[in-house]
Amino acid sequence: MILAAGAALLTSRVLGGELQKAGGPPEGYKLVWSDEFDKKGLPDSSKWSYDTVANATGWYNHEQQYYAAGSLKNSRVEGGKLILTARKEALATASDYGNQKYTSARLITRGKASWTYGFIEVRAKLPGGTGTWPAIWTLGTINKWPDCGEIDIMEQVGKEPTKISGTIHNISTAGTYGNGSSIQVPDACTKFHNYQLTWTSESLSIGMDGKIFHTYKNQHHGNASWPFDKPQYLLLNLAVGGDMAGPVDDTIFPRQMEVEYVRVYQKNPRP
């Protein structure tokens, strides 16, 4: 993102000798953290906080949203789902208002939960609408970007609603669009899908519904290309506009990104 109830068993494949299912982890992985979004109201504050750090100065990549904290209009749990909503509105009275004409939300686990290696699965339905830019991703807890490393498990923009991208960013990819690939998903904005990351000491594999569409391997050349031996935290957000999303169609709002669950598994986790 910083550039410049369980699913049916739909598909399976062998990944590094381990069976990976459309909904669920590879063999031998155990659940270590999750949010099933089963308590109505604001997101669970023991698991999530709001990232509002760049509201006043303006968000990265020329994004146009103001990220609201603790606003049910922008982030709420309802009907067993987390709902992130982007709206056309200006919160001019907010102390950190930065001239934005859209509001949305950006949830993070920083300071509450982070992991090194594992299988991350987020079941979500995307908003669609020209100008939207939803993302499911991770950032390292150590150092600043790009030194910390970034794993984009899912990115999509409303002007290309069927294209889902997975991308890796680090020092070695700085100045580029990152190391990534994409997959075509015709119903990404009308149906829920499982967006997945399998992260080991040797590789990062990004997939959807059990189908891996991008793998980044550890070349053992040091931190510049592999900062992924250190903890990363999770981010869920719905951006508006920006370099990747492009112009915004003001007639689309409000738009929602819905998340049924977030689950993190690890192999042989420490007790």
Check if 150 is active-site.
Answer: yes
Do residues 194 and 5 lie in contact, with contact meaning Cβ atoms separated by under 8 Å?
A: no
Cβ contacts of residue 123 below 8 Å, gap of 6+?
7, 23, 192, 193, 194, 195, 259, 260, 261
- Residue 98 tokens, joined: 């930065």
Q: What gap in Å lies between CA 16 and CA 137, rounded to an integer?
A: 23
Q: What gap in Å lies between CA 266 and CA 198, rounded to an integer?
A: 10
Catalytic residue among 155, 160, 202, 258: 155
Catalytic residue among 150, 160, 202, 260: 150
CB atoms within 10 A of CB 110: 15
**Phi and psi torsions of 250, nearest 5°:** -70, -10
In terms of Cα–Cα distance, which of 43, 45, 47 is closest to 32?
A: 47
- Residue 124 tokens, joined: 């979500």
Amino acid identity of 114?
S
DSSP line for 142-173: SSSTTTT-EEEEEE--TTSTTEEEEEEESGGG
- Residue 238 tokens, joined: 């719905």
**Phi and psi torsions of 172, nearest 5°:** -70, -20
- Residue 132 tokens, joined: 């939207």
Residues marked active site are found at 150, 155
